[in-house]
Amino acid sequence: LPMQQGASFELRINNVAINGVGWDSTIFRGASPLSGVVWIVYSSDNLLANFRTENSRAGILITGNNYNNLLFRYIKTTNHDRHFSWVEQNASFPITIPSIATENCYIIGGGTGFHFNEINGATMNTKYLGMRNVTMDGPTQVGIDAPLVWDNGRVIEVRGNRDFFDSIIINTNAPFMERAYEGFRSPEGFVEFHNNSFSLQSRGIGRFNIEADPMLDSYGRPRIGSPAIGPQYMRGYAGAVPPVPP
């Protein structure tokens, strides 16, 4: 992107796909690592896949008047202060499935992995993001900053909590808000390693959570014998990248 105020790649057309040839081959670069957003999505019913974002304060921002049915697949985001961010938006009815889905996305470094731009607080009508087969390696602020629904000072709902599966969170000092998981079916199938907080497993949160070295190779793929491989995961593995071939 050019060094100018507000420069971003923008998607404003419904029902189209932005499909690269792979996150190591199709690369969208911001103008400066300290400012700007690489991609801004204003539309709905879109697929964005198979590319990498870098060199910007924010990676992907979802906004617009009525976003729905957005899928981000096989995207690597690197060293953004906020990797994926979405603006608060409420429907006229309770939302029960993610309006934004991320699959096989790889977040490296930076600050916050998934950030909800909360303005007035979430409700049961607030649109949210779901996450499957994601690897987060090294975010320093928050891994998943999901919309929280409060009642008399207590979290009664985490928008998206039921839709976080089969992921790897490693090498992070990001804080963890335990009360965000009160009264919930918590995330399943997380592998955690070298995280500066008590693990989900030790807190009794979720099923099949493991605190162990996921044994990733230089491409982020679980090696044979990794705890990120097994039948407890929907696709047979956790994380963004399929296992090393046998």
The pLDDT tens digits of the residues spanning 184-232 come to 666 788 999 998 877 777 777 888 889 999 999 999 999 999 999 999 9
Does an H or E element contain 116, and which?
A: strand 112-117
Alpha carbon distances (Å) from 97 to 7, 162, 164, 201 = 32, 9, 12, 26
- Using an 8 Å Cβ cutoff, are 17 and 41 in contact? no
**β 70-78/135-137 pair status:** unpaired
- Of 170, 179, 173, the C-alpha closest to 216 is 170
Q: How far apart are CA 83 and CA 139, in angstroms?
A: 9
Q: Write the pLDDT tens digit of every residue in 164-174.
A: 899 999 999 88
- Using an 8 Å Cβ cutoff, are 100 and 76 in contact? no
The token duo for 213 is: 């070295």
Q: Report which listed range, 60-64, 145-149, 179-183, is most confident.
A: 60-64
Instruction: Map residue 162 onto helix, strand or coil.
Output: helix
Q: Write the pLDDT tens digit of every residue in 78-108.
A: 999 999 999 999 999 999 999 999 999 999 9
